[in-house]
Amino acid sequence: MCGRFAQVLSRIILQVLYRLEVSGELAPRYNIAPSQHALVLRLNPHDGTREVAPLQWGLIPGWVRDERSANKPINARAETVEQKPYFREAFLRRRALIPASGYYEWKKENEKKQPYLIRSKNEHPFSMAALWERWEQEGKVRETFAILTTAADGMLAELHDRMPLILPAETYDCWLHRDTPAAKLQALLQPYPATDLVTYPVSTIVNNPVNDTPECLQPVS
């Protein structure tokens, strides 16, 4: 699964990675948790241009009556996303990418849960496949997202049997384009090679989402 991640990104990195203009500098986030906002790359719903927008983590479909009692899932299983009513429309019409410096997973060791950071070997950010939705009622607006997950590959399966669906750069256009056929989308729902990632234990300060500091990313012995 993916229940916590980091976004330590520069404006230049986003511009190069996603081929779009980004204004201003970006505040680093070291420990993003569900219900918090994160940067999401999507196609602007009005003009179809690429944009990076802050959306809330925990999906709320537009047809939900009461957003307070909504389910708000943070993940969607890639294997069933097209069949599930909660995700189907977003999968076909509102796909997005989440730029991430890494994500966290926990492993039980000596009766305690040890957090690990998973990041790319080259330390470049990667992109997690996501869905987004807009909920609006009585003047209230919520734009939210959920991250797709797939079966964990290789060494990552030792931490958890699920991992975020990470997409290679050459698939971004296909994933984001509104008219991509469902069959082509399904072909993209494959585990990312674990050989391109590294993982190491980090401090248990990550356990508390209040802690959002560079120490969260530092390896511990």
Query: Among 2, 133, 143, 216, which one carries the catalytic annotation?
Result: 2
Asked if residue 209 belongs to a domain, the reply is no
As beta bridge partners, residue 29 has 7
- Predicted confidence band of residue 67 (pLDDT cuts 50, 70, 90): confident
Token pair for 70: 């909504």
Given a cut of 80, whether residue 1 has pLDDT beyond it is: no
Please write the tens of the pLDDT for every residue from 113-123: 999 999 999 99
Residue 58 lies in a domain: yes
Residue 74's domain is classified under what CATH number?
3.90.1680.10
| Residue 69 pLDDT > 90 | no
Considering its fold, how many domains does the chain have in total? Answer: 1
In a domain, 146, yes or no: yes
155 confidence band (pLDDT: 50, 70, 90): confident
The span from the CA of 1 to the CA of 152, in Å, is 9
Tell me what pLDDT residue 147 has. 98
Average pLDDT, the chain: 94
Q: Pull the structure tokens for residue 189.
A: 């729902």
> Dihedral through CA 61, CA 62, CA 67, CA 73, nearest 10?
10
Identify the pLDDT of residue 103.
Answer: 98
Nearest Cα residue to 162 out of 113, 204, 95, 105:
105
Q: Which of 21, 79, 89, 105 is catalytic?
A: 105
In a domain, 214, yes or no: no
| Residue 210 belongs to a domain | no
- For residue 84, is it within any domain? yes
What is the domain extent for residue 161? 5-104+125-194
Over residues 146-175, the mean pLDDT reads: 94
Q: Is residue 215 part of a domain?
A: no
Residue 105 annotated as catalytic = yes
- Residue 128: HSE in the Cβ half-sphere, 13 Å Cα cutoff: 36
In-domain check, residue 89: yes
